[in-house]
């Protein structure tokens, strides 16, 4: 221990300085968030102060920081674990108080909870033991060795993942295909899966523009909106069926992509992002204000639902002359049929997006996109037309956005400009970035994390956004280039994929 101390970089006064700094940070952050609360009193809205929460926040920050310092300097294994456990308990106490208590001063709630009953005592002890054990056994004994091992492990995981991407993808596809068989009765599960699938498709579409061609597009939702409104308007004004409108929606969105592309092609990086952002807003503002055409803020309602490829209808009361889906297959009517059909529809659309992207990547156009992302000047010197290459990326990305939009319109039955705000673009972009630019499986993971988790944990109420934020920060800390940010070569000459990955990891 003394040897560890001797080699440590910090001395006593530096530790005190560091702790004081974090105490101040904790104070600044907690005083407004936790320390004051608005309370509805008969006399009006009043501020109530909750110093206990502020104190706990500062206390837990300081103790936790001390634990981290011990960990960093590899001082005492036992003390590290103790300090981290105390912090965990304090944080828990803070959460319980925040939810349950008014501005009264009471003794620690954790104690009351822990010794309320036998079960709760066991749970509390288990909690403490688990935290303690995790802290104790994950500590650094010898800094360098530990880093080496964790590196080895992550290299191993990377190697396994990257040399089996196809298998993993196939397993994923099979899972999504049998998903309705597993959760077929659970309406909310199918709904959630459909929602996630829409975002996966949008993520894959945007991945062409951002991940492959490297053009930062903050207005992707505009194409989604164009697709949705194309279907809604064509269906309402010309009575065209969903199956006819689906390709049309894609074509319209692609032409909007080209229209946007032309003026912004000469821009790069931040400037391009700003222009695309503006374009997204223009589309939304037009949708709001062109009342005669788009219904303005009222949106378009009772959009026609899709039929079963024009053969059968999913409604309970089938219009005259049409066959109901139940009759066609000899099933009893169930409202789940349509939901499951919609799920499979978006699944197939998303998979088409995926396969087209994967295929394009190995074609000259895909390679040119990636080359353009790497170095535009070199591309020009090789005779690649940067304008057309960028335009094609924009148009194809937009086309898939348009397909997704048409699907969205037919699923919701109602669309309004509200659904196509900048926030949507940001979420889709976040999915692409978090997943790892250019990674198809990464997009799936990120869509599940970004869309699926917040919906699944709705019971956690306001905390879910907190945890969500922490999760995003964690991803950006440990995997700053996205969850799965690996680029696999499109062609190999004398190495297998596995050898290539192994060589890269070394």
Contact residues: other proteins, CB under 8 A: 356, 359-360, 363-365, 367-368, 370-371, 374-375, 377-386, 392, 487, 489-495, 500, 503-504
Contact 73, 38 (CB under 8 A): no
Nearest approach, Cβ of 360 to other proteins (angstroms)? Answer: 7
Nearer to other proteins, 418 or 499 (CB): 499
Nearest approach, Cβ of 258 to other proteins (angstroms)? Answer: 15
Task: Quote the distance between the C-alpha of residue 105 and its chain's center.
Answer: 40
Nearer to other proteins, 91 or 365 (CB): 365
Phi, psi of 187 (to 5 degrees): -60, -45
Contact 228, 420 (CB under 8 A): yes
Task: Quote the distance between the C-alpha of residue 64 and its chain's center.
Answer: 29
Nearer to other proteins, 64 or 250 (CB): 250
Nearest approach, Cβ of 375 to other proteins (angstroms)? Answer: 5
Please report which helix (H) or strand (E) contains residue 39, including its range.
strand 36-41
Nearer to other proteins, 170 or 492 (CB): 492
Nearest approach, Cβ of 383 to other proteins (angstroms)? Answer: 3
Nearest approach, Cβ of 353 to other proteins (angstroms)? Answer: 13
Nearer to other proteins, 57 or 379 (CB): 379
Nearest approach, Cβ of 209 to other proteins (angstroms)? Answer: 16
Contact 384, 206 (CB under 8 A): no
Rounded CA-CA distance 93/57 in Å is 10
Contact 249, 408 (CB under 8 A): no
Instruction: Label residue 192 exposed, middle or buried (CB < 10 Å: 0-12, 13-18, 19+).
Output: middle
**SS3 per-residue string spanning 103-151:** CCCCCCHHHHHHCCCHHHHHHHHHHHHHHHHHHHHCCCCCHHHHHHHHH
Nearer to other proteins, 228 or 484 (CB): 484
Nearer to other proteins, 417 or 482 (CB): 482
Nearer to other proteins, 111 or 363 (CB): 363
The strand pairing partners of 442, in sequence order, are: none
Task: Quote the distance between the C-alpha of residue 382 and its chain's center.
Answer: 37
End-to-end CA distance of the chain: 34
Nearest approach, Cβ of 271 to other proteins (angstroms)? Answer: 20
Rounded CA-CA distance 60/72 in Å is 18
Nearest approach, Cβ of 373 to other proteins (angstroms)? Answer: 8
């Amino acid at each position: 221990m003394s040897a560890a101390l001797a080699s440590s970089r910090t001395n006593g006064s530096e530790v005190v300085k560091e702790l004081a700094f974090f105490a101040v940070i904790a104070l600044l952050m907690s005083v407004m968030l936790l320390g004051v609360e608005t309370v509805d009193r008969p006399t009006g809205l009043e501020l109530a102060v909750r110093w206990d929460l502020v104190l706990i926040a500062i206390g837990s920050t300081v103790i936790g920081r001390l634990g981290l310092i011990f960990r960093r300097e590899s001082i005492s294994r036992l003390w590290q674990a103790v300090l981290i456990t105390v912090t965990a308990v304090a944080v828990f106490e803070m959460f319980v108080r925040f939810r349950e208590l008014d501005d009264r001063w009471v003794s620690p709630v954790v104690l009351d909870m822990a010794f309320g009953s036998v079960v709760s005592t066991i749970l509390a002890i288990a909690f403490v033991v688990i935290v303690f054990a995790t802290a104790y056994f994950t500590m650094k004994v010898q800094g360098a060795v530990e880093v080496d091992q964790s590196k080895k492990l992550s290299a191993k995981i990377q190697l396994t993942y990257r040399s089996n991407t196809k298998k993993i993808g196939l397993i994923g596809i099979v899972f999504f295909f049998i998903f309705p068989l597993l959760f077929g009765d659970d309406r909310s599960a199918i709904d959630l899966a459909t929602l996630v699938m829409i975002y996966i498709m949008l993520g894959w579409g945007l991945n062409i523009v951002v991940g492959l061609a490297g053009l930062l597009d903050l207005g992707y939702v505009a194409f989604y909106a164009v697709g949705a409104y194309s279907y809604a308007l064509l269906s309402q004004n010309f009575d065209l069926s969903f199956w006819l409108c689906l390709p049309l929606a894609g074509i319209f969105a692609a032409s909007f992509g080209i229209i946007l592309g032309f003026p912004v092609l000469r821009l790069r990086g931040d400037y391009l992002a700003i222009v695309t952002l503006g374009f997204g807003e223009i589309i939304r503002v037009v949708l709001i204000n062109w009342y005669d055409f788009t219904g303005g803020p009222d949106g378009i309602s009772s959009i026609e639902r899709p039929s079963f490829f024009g053969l059968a209808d999913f409604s309970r009361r089938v219009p005259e002359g049409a066959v109901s889906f139940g009759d066609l297959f000899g099933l009893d009517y169930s409202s789940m049929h349509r939901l499951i059909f919609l799920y499979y529809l978006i699944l197939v659309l998303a998979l088409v997006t995926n396969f087209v992207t994967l295929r394009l990547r190995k074609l000259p156009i895909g390679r040119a996109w990636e080359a353009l992302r790497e170095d535009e000047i070199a591309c020009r010197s090789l005779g690649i037309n940067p304008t057309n290459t960028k335009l094609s990326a924009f148009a194809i990305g937009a086309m898939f956005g348009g397909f997704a939009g048409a699907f969205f319109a037919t699923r919701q039955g109602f669309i309004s400009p509200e659904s196509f705000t900048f926030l949507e673009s940001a979420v889709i972009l976040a999915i692409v970035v978090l997943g790892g630019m250019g990674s198809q499986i990464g997009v799936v993971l990120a869509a599940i994390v970004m869309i699926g988790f917040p919906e699944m944990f709705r019971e956690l109420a306001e905390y879910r956004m907190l945890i969500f934020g922490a999760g995003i920060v964690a991803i950006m800390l440990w995997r700053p280039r996205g969850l799965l940010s690996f680029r696999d070569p499109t062609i190999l000459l004398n190495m297998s994929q596995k050898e290539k990955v192994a060589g890269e990891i070394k």
